């Protein structure tokens, strides 16, 4: 974990490196907690991407 802000009064900006081999599992775990593209980037592109993924999942089931 790497501290990102040089200001001593700021203690909440960190950079965490996720190894490539666990990225997929890490993303799944974030989704369990409701953290996904459309909550991090709430623009039309990311909301539409999430809706497409949900729709594809519904079609598979």
- The model's pLDDT over 12-58, given as tens digits with 9 standing for 90+, comes to 778 888 999 999 999 999 999 999 888 989 999 999 998 998 899 89
How much is the pTM? 0.60
Q: Is the pLDDT of residue 61 over 80?
A: no
Backbone angles phi, psi at 3, to 5 degrees: -75, 130
| Other CB atoms within 10 Å distance of the CB of residue 36 | 15
Return the pLDDT at 51. Answer: 92
């Amino acid at each position: 974990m790497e501290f990102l802000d040089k200001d001593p009064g700021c203690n909440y900006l960190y950079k965490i490196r996720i190894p490539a081999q666990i990225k997929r599992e890490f993303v799944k775990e974030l989704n369990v907690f409701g953290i996904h593209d459309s909550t991090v980037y709430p623009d039309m592109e990311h909301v539409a991407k999430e809706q497409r993924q949900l729709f594809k999942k519904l079609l598979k089931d």
